[in-house]
Chains A and B, each alone.
Chain A
Amino acid sequence: MSEPLLSVSDLETQFHTDAGTVFAVDGVSFDVDHGETVAIVGESGSGKTVTSESITSILDTPPGEIVGGTITFDGMDLTTLSETALQDVRGKRISHIFQNPQNGLNPVYTVGRQIGEAIRIHDHGDPEVPVQRQVVDLLDKTGIPEASARVDDYPHEFSGGMKQRVLIAMALACDPDLLIADEPTTALDVTIQGQILRLLEDLQAEHDMGIIFVTHDLGVVSEIADRVVVMYAGKVMETGTVEDIFRNPSHPYTRALMDCLPGRGGSMDRIEGSLPDVTDPPAGCRFSPRCEHATEACRSGDQPPLWGVDNGDTHEASCVYYDAEHDEGELAGGEGATGGHQ
């Protein structure tokens, strides 16, 4: 197998605050291939944004600091790159789109100028073609009607959905290899959400981009993801292909998330309890205080390693029940415990 496009390994990102050190991301690993969509899911505060912003170091440092791990992209370890080298990667090789399109554009410049800024910074595109022309093409491609008339408009003259399209156009301006989309549809209404998702899929196919799609909406995940990383309190709880995760959710946390999904026969509308304090995380499995299956073994030591589920090589869960040595019986109460599903 060839090298993955991006390989995050054991990433640790912390925030140094007056209240103590926040272990926002604590040993997270995952890969993204060319043309593949990897979804990162988890409750609010589980560290999804911090993970995605660590990749190109766009988080605020200080207070944030990447204290460990490697992020390998095209043979480079992004965690060791200089600021200027990172600037060459940002926007050119790896782009971001964010959750809130309302504030994503600088209100005092026209949208055309802001998209053009990305092209100019990286000297991208055919020097023969005027930047303005390239910008109009980009706006066209992202589905802005009458692009050539709108290019000189200011952001406040666009609706939320249109702003997100502008931001997508900006992210794609230099034809990146990887697009990191942090809840790009959360702030939009449902019909617009669908349109944006389809737009991303089309653009992905056209450019063979890898996409990291951050969301807490499992419905969206089932629509667009190839693989899923389930995060909780700065740790990866479970990873696998979409089929693995949806047909055989294995970690109690993933199951709890699934139970919150409407229309899947779930009984909960939210998981009992709340996220642990990541300044002082609990011993053992981070989810153990809220887990109905937790035993003594779950509440001591470290977060369990990612054990293979069903002997598959794509599906792993960080739960003691999947440890081959584990002898306290099967994970109670759930369909689809170790090997027991279908």
Chain B
Amino acid sequence: MKWYIVKRVLWTFVVMWIALTLTFGLLVASPDTGQTKSVMSCSASGGDAQQCREQYRERQNLDKPITERYVNYVTNMATLNWGWSESRSQSVMAAISEAWPYTAQYAIPVLVVSTILGYGLGLYSAYKPYTKADYLGSFVGFFGISIPNFWFALVLIILLGTHFEFISTYYQSGIPINQGWASMANITQLLIPSFVLLTASLAWQMRYSRAQAIEQMNQEFVKVAKAKGASQWRLMIHHVFRMAAVPLTTSFVSSLLAIFWSGSVIIEQIFSIPGLGLMTFTAITEQDTTLVLATTMITVFLAIIGNLIEDVSYTILDPRIDYGDR
């Protein structure tokens, strides 16, 4: 199994390299809007257009041969030297390192809470299917899945923001800097955005784990375990949940991606949280190619690493998976 994991990790690097090469190809093939813009602003401030273009091309290394640019690009990406963001006038890495704590501060707690709560509730409603508790769970679940995040956020802002003044409806990015990330003021201003994000993610995990658990409960080995005198609790945790945990790792990884990518873009836009989501959104609207590329790369890497975690946990959780000769 160790050998399989080593191989799997090496393979991950290969996939990342392929992803890098593909984005490089896209970059070369696509028109450079940054150039037009930069040349325009440069000549507007009195420079010679030709000179401005050359300056820009030099700055972006566009004057070098393509092989050299490719090698440079890959080494730069690998050494976390991700280029210059024109729209923010700072390096991409600086932009990312400024933004990520704003996202992580709510995304990680939401991921943890929604996973634990979602699996717990899903398992419980599988344990008592077609009871009031289960129907309530299903209702909340479908509500969470079908209500669009942005709409729910707006409703909450209107309802809570107008009736409870202590809850801030937009995010003040100075608070964590001045009062600390774990300060009460920062936590309260994160409550609504976290709650909105939680509903969707929780609902999803709940429905998924319920379905998985019900499928496992109907397996013959659960009946066998019951026949040998196992208690309900033992059946649910030791047999049903343990089996359901295998496919559930998939839902964990997709939740992670959903929160970081789609969830945070919408939430941060609405509450003006200066995290990765808002950064992505503005990078797109400002056509800042380097930055858009960087955010795309983050998602791609998250997906690749998520996949790695998923595969490795599968082999650990399920002895039937044959990892010997792959």
Contact = CB atoms under 8 A, between A and B. Distances in A.
A62 interface: yes
Contacts of B219: 103
A154 interface: yes
A90 B229 contact: yes
Interface in B206-256: 219-221, 223-232, 234, 239, 242-243, 246
Interface of B: 130, 219-221, 223-232, 234, 239, 242-243, 246, 317-320
Contact of B221 (A91, A96, A105, A122): A105
A96 B220 CA distance: 12
Contacts of B230: 87, 91, 117, 121
A95 B227 contact: yes
- Residues of A in contact with B, size category: 20 to 34
Contacts of B220: 98, 100, 103-104
A108 B319 CA distance: 6
B130 A104 contact: no
Given A98-B224, A103-B220, A106-B221, A91 B320 contact: no
Given A98-B223, A100-B220, A107 B319 contact: yes
* The 10 residue pairs across chains A and B that have the minimum distance between CB atoms: A91-B228, A91-B229, A103-B220, A96-B227, A90-B229, A118-B228, A106-B221, A154-B319, A104-B224, A156-B320
A170 B242 contact: no
B227 A58 contact: yes
A154 to B, nearest CB: 4
A277 interface: no
A87 B233 CA distance: 12
A87 B229 contact: yes
B227 A90 contact: yes
A121 B229 contact: yes
Contacts of B130: 62
A98 B224 CA distance: 8
Contacts of A122: 229
B225 A106 contact: yes
Contacts of B318: 107-108
A313 interface: no
Contacts of B225: 106, 117
B317 A121 contact: no
Contact of A121 (B223, B228, B232, B242): B228
Contacts of A90: 226-229
A328 to B, nearest CB: 46
Contact of A87 (B224, B231, B317, B319): B231
A108 B232 contact: no
Contacts of A121: 228-231, 234
